[in-house]
Amino acid sequence: MTREAEIAWLAGIMEGEGSFGAVSRGKSEYAPRVALCMTDRDVVIRAFEIADCGRIYGPYEVLESNVGPGPFKKRYQWIVQGKEAIAFMELVLPYMFERRATKIQEILSVYEELEFRKTLLYKFWSNVVQVDSCWAWQKDKLSLWHETKRSPRLLAFDLCGLERPGRSVRDVCGNSKCVNPMHMEAGNALNRS
C-alpha cells in the first residue's frame, strides 16, 4: 500500500470510528486530541503504525452497567495529543468529509490563535524590564508592529485584557519607555499637560 493510500485508509477509519477534539485547561492551555476506540486491536495498532504518533491504551473491559448484559469484547484506544494531534489532523484533513473537516478546522484555528498569543506574550515580556512600577520597553517601538499592527503600549492593554482608553495613549508616570497600562491615559505626547 502506498503512503497516500495508508493515509486515506486511516482517514476513513477516523471518519467512522474516531474522534477529534480538544481539552481546554484555562485560558492559556488548549490540548488538541485525536482518539480511536475499537475492539479490533489489529486496526488500532495499524492506525498507530501509519500515524507514527500517540499511544495505545488497553485492553479495557466494558462495564456491564454501561451497555447491558455481556459477553463483551475488550476494547483498545489510540490517543494522540498536543502538537502531534495537530500534525495528524493536518495530515488527514484533505480526506475527511464535511462534518469532521469542519471540526478539525475549528480546532486548528483555535490552536493557531492561542499559539500566536503565547508567542506574542513571550516576545512582549522578553522586551520589558520592570523599573519600580513602570514596565520599561527595551526595543524599538515598532519592533512588534509587523506582527500586531499595535504599538507596545496598546499591545500591553490587549495582552492584559484591558479596554484601551483611546486610539493612542500617553504615559502619566513621566517614563517615555513605560508600557504599563496602569500608567496610561488617552492622548499622545504632543498634548501632554
Residues whose CB is less than 8 angstroms from the CB of residue 165 and which lie 6 or more positions away in sequence, other chains included = 184, 185, 186
pTM of the model: 0.68
Grid cell 477534539 in the structure block, residue? 21
Convert the pLDDT of each residue in 68-107 to its tens digit: 666 678 899 999 999 999 999 999 999 999 999 999 999 9
Delimiting residues of CATH 3.10.28.10 domain(s) in the chain:
3-118
- Whether residue 32 has pLDDT greater than 60: yes
- Tens of pLDDT, residue by residue over 38-78, are 999 999 999 999 999 999 999 987 665 555 666 678 899 99
The rounded distance, in Å, linking the Cα atoms of 137 and 122 is 13
In the CATH scheme, what is the code of domain 3-118? 3.10.28.10
C-alpha cell at 180: 504599563
Whether pLDDT at 112 is above 70: yes
Which residue would you say has higher pLDDT here, 25 or 176?
176
Hey, is 69 helix, strand or coil?
coil
Model pLDDT, residue 132: 87
Reduced to 3 states (helix: H, G, I; strand: E, B; else coil), residue 135 is: strand
| Residue 27, SS3 per DSSP | coil
Grid cell of 128 as nine digits: 520589558
